Every structure is written in structure tokens, then in C-alpha cells.
């Protein structure tokens, strides 16, 4: 398992550009777009012009080929300024990964350059009303009708829906099969029968739309089937989530750091009992714990992202789950403690920390709840136990146990 973390010059350059955009276009407008529940097109345009959408796209398709670690660095900087915009940026990678990982050469050449240039935004359509964490339980269908598929059904919680131009849609193409039941198909904005319906009124990440996407007998050409072979959708979805989870974890690291920075500034300004509250030991303990956990999350994320870049997504599943789970739990904990440090003001929307608290919660839920992540981690550990047979001799069996205590005498 690769453990070294290599920051390329390109990755650091992109990180610096992301910080500049965050300071200029994202943070100053975060409250405005949160209250209006509107997409920050100005920031998205700046991201495109700076070439940040090229971060995760290979060079042969018009990107920088900078990798998942660079994607994590850029996402962290944007999310530190506004968690919602961090999501709005990173979801383009989530929606593109099925094409990047499973698409044909023709499909990659058709769509990835458009994503790299910021010409087209992307969404990922997997979740349904009765199929969230259980991705195998999908009900949206795609009927094979010769030279095209006809997609019918409804998807829930499509992030970037309405804004996006390209949708990676996972649907049932063979209901009789268990292993080859699902396929991934690209649907483009404007196709007949494809509509964006309800826009959710969310607690947090309000600047990025989350919608219901409806498919009313949408005719899609056969060459939009990702990979050109039906039945590969579940594999594509799982590979995509493994690749994308470091990005979600990076959103969490950015959110945690942003909340910590605000709490630190406030703690050194707010005075109680004649001194800044940062001089009180209990507040110092809170700040110290927030810093330690944020830093631990950051380097776990970097490590997993670096592993993906060096060795690919194979075998990364438990570590990607661990990074997502730990970092998002940290983001929620740090945001909660930051509200506590702000005291009564932390509960008021006049102060920016309330938004960090609202935004943090979804990180523990989407792209696999943290309960599911813990199941994935545990299953990975159970499999790993097969490589630990050399330790069995150090664990006595029931017959080999010795007892130092005399048996109790009764009667």
C-alpha cells in the first residue's frame, strides 16, 4: 500500500489558484447565495477560467492530469470558504468519473474536454426514494429498443441538477440479472422527456441545487451507454464512489478548517472576565482538539488521495471509506464546537459560523452514510485478517488457556 504523499508543482499551483478564487469570489458572496439558494455562477466562471475543472481530467482529454490529490487540495480550499461551493465544484468530478473510469475512448473524447473547459457541468444520478445506500435496489429502468434506450422513472437528490448539462444516470437494464442488472447511461440536458422537478429546500449547502430528476420515456442513443456494454453500471458506480470519496473528505477538511479559523479569530476577540476567551483553559482545550482532529483528517485524506494517484482505485475501498467517515465526522464535531465558542452569537445567522454548522451535516450523509462507511471499513478489516494468520499462534485457544486464580470454593 503506497504511503508517500507527493505534491506535484501543478497540484500546488492549482491549490494556490483555488485559494485566490475562494478569497475573491466565494467567501465574500457565501451568505448571499446561501440565503437566495442560488448557484454562484460568478465563482464557477472564475474556476473555469483558472483551469480548475481541468484538475482531474487527463491531459489527453484537455485536462491537467493532476490527479485525485490535486482535486482534494483544490476542493479543500474552495470548501474552506464555502462548503456549498466546495460541493458544487467537486460534484463535477463525481459525475465525470463514470465516463473517465468506464467510458469508451469515443465517449471520453466527446464529453471530458467539455468538462475540462468548464463548458459543461456534470451531475451524478444514482439515489432514488427507495435506493440510497442500497445502490443495488434501483428502480429507474432503461428499455433496449434497438438503436436507443428508453429511460423511465425518477431520481432523488441529484446534486447540480438543473445547472448541469451532462448527467451520469444509473438504471436497470436487465431486471432478471443479479450481477449485471444495472447500467450507466449519459443523459444530456434538453433531451425530450428529461425534466428537473422539485428543487429541495435544504438545511445547508444551499448554493448548490439538489433536485428530483424525472425521466418520462427519455430516448437516449445507444452510444450513450457508458462503456458500450450493458450491466456494468454497479461496477462503475462503486469505482466512482471510491475515487470520489477523497473529494468528499476534502470538502470536510475544508469545512472544518474554515470553522476552526473563524472560531480562533472570535476567541481572540471576544472578552469575558477581562480577557479574551482564548485565555480560558476550557476554550483552549476545545481549540486544541479542533486543530488536532482537523490536521489528522487532512493527512488521512491526502494519504488516500495519493494512494489512488499512485496505484489506482483498486484496493482503496476501505481506506477511502475511512477518510470520508473520519473527515466528515471531524467536520461536524469542529463546526459544533465552533458554534459553542461563539456562544449565543453562534446560534444567530448574523454570524457566519451557523452556516458552517448547517453545511457540515450533509457530509456525514451523502455519497454513503457514515454508518455504511463503517460497515465497509469493518468488512475490509475482516478480509485483512486472512493476511494475519501468523498471529494466530499468539492467541491461546480455550484448551490452552491457563488461569492464575484458584477456582472459587463453594459449599
Q: Which residue has the cell 478489516?
A: 381
Angle formed by the axes of helices 233-269 and 83-102, nearest 10°: 160
- 146: its cell numbers: 434497438
Annotated catalytic residue within 76, 128, 212, 367: 367
Q: Whose CA is closest to 249, among 297, 205, 192, 215? A: 297
| Beta-strand relationship, 271-272 and 148-159 | unpaired
In sequence order, the 6+-apart residues with CB closer than 8 A to the CB of 260 are 287, 290, 291, 294, 334, 338
| Beta-strand relationship, 122-125 and 166-172 | parallel
- 43: its cell numbers: 465563482
Assess contact for 293 and 332: CB atoms under 8 A: no
Q: Whose CA is closest to 184, among 135, 245, 113, 146? A: 135
Angle formed by the axes of helices 353-363 and 317-342, nearest 10°: 160
Q: Which residue has the cell 438503436?
A: 147
Decide if 367 is catalytic: yes
The beta strand positions in 65-224, using DSSP E, are 122-125, 141-144, 148-159, 166-172, 182-188, 194-199, 210-221
H/E stretch holding 327 reads helix 317-342
Rg (CA), the chain: 24
- 158: its cell numbers: 441529484
- Neighbouring-strand partners of residue 172: 141, 182
Catalogue the active-site residues: 367
Amino acid at each position: 500500500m503506497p504511503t508517500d504523499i507527493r505534491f506535484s508543482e501543478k497540484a500546488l499551483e492549482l491549490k494556490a489558484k483555488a485559494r485566490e478564487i475562494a478569497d475573491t469570489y466565494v467567501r465574500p458572496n457565501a451568505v448571499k447565495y446561501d440565503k437566495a439558494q442560488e448557484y454562484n455562477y460568478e465563482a464557477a466562471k472564475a474556476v473555469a477560467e483558472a483551469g480548475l475543472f481541468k484538475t482531474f481530467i487527463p491531459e489527453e482529454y484537455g485536462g491537467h492530469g493532476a490527479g485525485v490529490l490535486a482535486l482534494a487540495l483544490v476542493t479543500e480550499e474552495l470548501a474552506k470558504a464555502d462548503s456549498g461551493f466546495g460541493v458544487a465544484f467537486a460534484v463535477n468530478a463525481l459525475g465525470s468519473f463514470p465516463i473517465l473510469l468506464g467510458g469508451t475512448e469515443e465517449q471520453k473524447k466527446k464529453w471530458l474536454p467539455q468538462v475540462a473547459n468548464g463548458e459543461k457541468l456534470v451531475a451524478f444520478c444514482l439515489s432514488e426514494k427507495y435506493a440510497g445506500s442500497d445502490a443495488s435496489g434501483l428502480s429507474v429502468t432503461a428499455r433496449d429498443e434497438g438503436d436507443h434506450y428508453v429511460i423511465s422513472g425518477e431520481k432523488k437528490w441529484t446534486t447540480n441538477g438543473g445547472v448541469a448539462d451532462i448527467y451520469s444516470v444509473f438504471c436497470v437494464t436487465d431486471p432478471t440479472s443479479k450481477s449485471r442488472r444495472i447500467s450507466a447511461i449519459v443523459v444530456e440536458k434538453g433531451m425530450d422527456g428529461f425534466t428537473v422537478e422539485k428543487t429541495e429546500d435544504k438545511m445547508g449547502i444551499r448554493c448548490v441545487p439538489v433536485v428530483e430528476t424525472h425521466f418520462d420515456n427519455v430516448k437516449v442513443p445507444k452510444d450513450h451507454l457508458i462503456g458500450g456494454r450493458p450491466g456494468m453500471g454497479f461496477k462503475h458506480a462503486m469505482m466512482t464512489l471510491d475515487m470520489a470519496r477523497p473529494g468528499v473528505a476534502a470538502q470536510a477538511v475544508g469545512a472544518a478548517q474554515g470553522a476552526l479559523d473563524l472560531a480562533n479569530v472570535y476567541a481572540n476577540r471576544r472578552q469575558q472576565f477581562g480577557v479574551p476567551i482564548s485565555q480560558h483553559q476550557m476554550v483552549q482545550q476545545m481549540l486544541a482538539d479542533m486543530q488536532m482532529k482537523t490536521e489528522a483528517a487532512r493527512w488521512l485524506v491526502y494519504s488516500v488521495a495519493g494512494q489512488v494517484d499512485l496505484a489506482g482505485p483498486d484496493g482503496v475501498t476501505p481506506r477511502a471509506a475511512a477518510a470520508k467517515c473520519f473527515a466528515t465526522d471531524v467536520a461536524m464535531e469542529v463546526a459544533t464546537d465552533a458554534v459553542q465558542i461563539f456562544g449565543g452569537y453562534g446560534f444567530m445567522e448574523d454570524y457566519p459560523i451557523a452556516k458552517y454548522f448547517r453545511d457540515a451535516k450533509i457530509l456525514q450523509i451523502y455519497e454513503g452514510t457514515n454508518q455504511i462507511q463503517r460497515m465497509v471499513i469493518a468488512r475490509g478489516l475482516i478480509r485483512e485478517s486472512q493476511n494475519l494468520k501468523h498471529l494466530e499462534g499468539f492467541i491461546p485457544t480455550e484448551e490452552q488457556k491457563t488461569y492464575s486464580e484458584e477456582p472459587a470454593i463453594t459449599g
